[in-house]
Copies of this chain bind each other. A is one copy, B any other.
Amino acid sequence: MTITISIDCMGGDHGPSVTIPGALAFLKQQPQAQLILVGLEDQVRAELKKHHADKHPNLRIKHATEVVAMDDPIEVALRRKKDSSMRVAIELVKEGQADVCVSAGNTGALMAISRYVLKTLADVDRPAICSIMPNQKGSPTYMLDLGANVDCEPHHLHQFAIMGAVLFQAMEQRRPSIGLLNVGTEEIKGNEVVKATAALLRADHERGVLNFHGNVEGNDIFKGTVDVIVCDGFVGNVTLKAVEGLSRFVKATLMETTMSKLGALLARKSLKKLNPESYNGAGLLGLKGLVFKSHGGANAFAFDWAIRRAYNAAQYNVQEQLSAMISELMPQASDPQAPGATTQQG
């Protein structure tokens, strides 16, 4: 099966000067993939020419007349830019022309347009953003929500756990352990929302539906204590950005003196596994279609990684597994005690 990926070439801080080289780097190691490059045709074509790739057989350009700016309010992106590269790239997924879409654009706009165009999966109240971090065990820590939902109720966090577990299982081909992000590991710790969520997850664990490890703390992200970490979008977003901020601070510090530059050079191979660029590519989960979000400030190397992740998700049928497993795992109408038990299945 050929996998086709629609790429919002205008998104991100750098637009085509990053997305096109990223796409070309991706094609070098996945020469059987097909890419649809969405954006202002002239700019996309000019960038392709620069790389002598304007006649690449695995590429086609889809013209879109508008661009969602990184600081566009959601309303503007959604209502006034109906022919934006972001929206057209997502519509290609809806129409079945692409299996997955990748954008480095404005997160709020990407989520809003994705929800509007693709719609939310039945049984899912709120889509979530699932990112990946490196950990000391050398395996990935999946973490969600990373910013789509700043006010969450326990049943939202419960659904995030289920969606994160399905994504992990599909992508990593093993059953994940789930941790609930908290201020301590003991059951009595946390705010009311987290305590109520833990009760829902423990119930799932007892009936064998999820492998719930229990509460985890901030440092467990990098320890690799669990495979999937669940939190609300406020905590997730702040944590992710704090961690990125520290990484940038370390990098800048290493570039300060000749001595530290030399040190960084020697340690380069070891430090590589910490490189956040190779963990770029967050999944928007809970929609009727696959969308991956690249960091807005990504370079071509990082953007390539986001496309790779999107490709794997399409290859492993993440969307089908999400649809199937979510309706299996979410509390059902047949379970009279479950919240939302009267909801119609779709």
Q: Could you list which residues of chain A lie within 8 angstroms of chain B, going by C-beta atoms?
A: 73, 108, 134-136, 147, 150-151, 181-184, 188-192, 194, 217-223, 231, 233-235, 237-250, 252-254, 256-257, 259-260, 262-271, 273-274
Contacts and interface: CB of A to CB of B under 8 A. Distances in A.
Given A259-B270, A266-B260, A238 B181 contact: yes
Grouping DSSP codes into helix (H, G, I), strand (E, B) and loop, the A interface class, with mixed when no group exceeds half, is: helix
Contact of A267 (B134, B235, B254): B254
A231 to B, nearest CB: 7
A153 to B, nearest CB: 12
Contact of A218 (B240, B264, B266): B240
Contact of A274 (B136, B181, B253): B253
Contact of A191 (B150, B231, B260): B150
Nearest to A188: B73
A249 B136 contact: yes
B220 A249 contact: no
Contacts of A73: 188
A149 to B, nearest CB: 9
Given A259-B270, A264-B263, A266-B263, A221 B242 contact: yes
Nearest to A242: B218
B234 A183 contact: yes
Nearest to A253: B270
Contact of A256 (B134, B188, B260, B270): B270
Report which residue of A194, A260, A273 has the largest number of chain B beta carbons within 10 angstroms of its beta carbon: A260
A221 B108 CA distance: 22
Given A183-B234, A238-B231, A250-B250, A192 B151 contact: yes
5 contacts: A150-B190, A222-B246, A238-B238, A242-B243, A254-B270
Contacts of A256: 270
Contact of A219 (B245, B259, B263): B245
Given A234-B183, A270-B259, A135 B249 contact: yes
Residue picked from A134, A241, A269, most chain B C-beta under 10 Å:
A241
A268 B267 CA distance: 12
Contacts of A246: 221-222, 243, 246-247
A267 B264 CA distance: 7
Contacts of A265: 263
